[in-house]
């Protein structure tokens, strides 16, 4: 099955960008996912092909016009794929949402620019706003690529060893334990003895303890309060 992505953007030449390399690049060649970019400007109708206008009520910057963006969205067949809008106001992306999205047939992803997009098109086209974190990018394209990268790596058959996906940070609600590899001694520091003991039960226990410690220290927000 192919995860079909349709990207609405003013900068289609930014794609596939880094997604054309490495794991996601090979997956694209194999057809595990596909990419269709739609130039929003192609749906402008005025002489200047304008896609933005000044904010109603005044203020800085420009806003993506709803009529132009709606025509661009309507040019993509409504086949049940989720319609997402990259937006700092959206629900922050999580690994569990990534897994849900990866289980769908694909996604239609709108990349914002300027101050954002007219609220009416968000409402009328049922766009789900997705944020990749609490900071502001200059456009939705890098955010869309990050979202796609996270989705592609969990598609069936993309990752060489499916095991390596399930032990990752966030997959079990914890940050991952620290990693070590050869050489045995690096700048006078040894690999923790338990990891070279060959005792798999002990190794698993150590890793879980380390993961819990690290999560409590760095991301206490990830640890669910025990409900009585």
Grouping H, G, I as helix, E, B as strand and the rest as coil, residue 77 is coil
**Structural element, H or E, at residue 34:** strand 33-39
Residue 136 assigned as binding residue: yes
The verdict on 12 binding ligand SAH (CB under 6 A) reads no
Number of residues binding to ligand SAH, judged by CB under 6 A: 18
Nearer to ligand SAH, 113 or 207 (CB): 113
**Residue 59: C-alpha distances to residues 7, 54, 116, 223 (Å):** 29, 8, 13, 41
Q: Report whether 177 contacts 228 (CB < 8 A).
A: no
State the angle between helix axes of 95-102 and 140-153 in degrees (0 to 180), rounded to the nearest 10: 70
Q: How far apart are the first and last CA of the chain?
A: 43
Query: Among residues 67, 115, 128, 149, which is the contact residue for ligand SAH, using CB under 6 A?
Result: 115
Which of the stretches 44-52, 97-105, 111-119, 149-157 binds ligand SAH when contact is defined by CB under 6 A?
A: 111-119
Residue 60: CB minimum distance to ligand SAH, A: 9
Residue 169 C-beta: closest distance to ligand SAH, Å? 20
Q: Considering beta carbons, is residue 41 or 212 the nearer one to ligand SAH?
A: 41
CA–CA separation, 5 vs 206, rounded Å?
Answer: 40
Binding part of the chain for ligand SAH, among 66-74, 133-141, 188-196, 208-216 by CB under 6 A, reads: 133-141
Residue 132 assigned ligand-binding role:
yes
**Apex 150 CA angle, 111 and 132, nearest 5:** 50
Residue numbers 43-102 binding ligand SAH by CB under 6 A: 86-89
CB 145 within 8 A of CB 13: no
Closest distance between ligand SAH and the C-beta of residue 194, in Å? 40
Output the known binding site for S-adenosyl-L-methionine.
Answer: 112, 132-137
Residue numbers at the binding site for ligand SAH (CB under 6 A): 86-89, 111-113, 115-116, 131-133, 135-137, 139-140, 143
């Amino acid at each position: 099955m192919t995860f079909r992505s349709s990207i609405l953007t003013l900068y289609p030449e930014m794609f596939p960008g880094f997604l054309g390399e490495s794991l996601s690049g090979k997956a694209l060649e194999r057809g595990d996912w596909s990419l269709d970019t739609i130039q929003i400007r192609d749906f402008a109708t005025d002489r200047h092909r304008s896609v933005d206008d000044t904010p109603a009520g005044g203020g800085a910057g420009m806003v993506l016009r709803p009529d132009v963006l709606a025509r661009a969205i309507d040019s993509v067949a409504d086949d049940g794929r989720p319609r997402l809008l990259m937006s700092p106001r959206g629900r922050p992306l999580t690994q569990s949402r990534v897994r849900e999205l990866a289980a769908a047939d694909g996604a239609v992803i709108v990349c914002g620019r300027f101050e954002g997009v007219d609220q009416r098109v968000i409402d009328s086209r049922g766009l789900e706003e997705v944020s990749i974190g609490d900071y502001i990018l200059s456009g939705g394209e890098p955010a869309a690529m990050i979202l796609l990268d996270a989705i592609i790596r969990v598609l069936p058959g993309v990752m060489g060893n499916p095991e390596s996906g399930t032990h990752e940070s966030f997959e079990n609600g914890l940050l991952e334990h620290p990693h070590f590899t050869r050489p045995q001694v690096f700048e006078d520091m040894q690999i923790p003895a338990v990891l070279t003991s060959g005792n798999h039960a002990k190794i698993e226990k150590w890793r879980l303890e380390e993961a819990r410690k690290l999560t409590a220290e760095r991301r206490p927000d990830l640890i669910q309060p025990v409900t009585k």
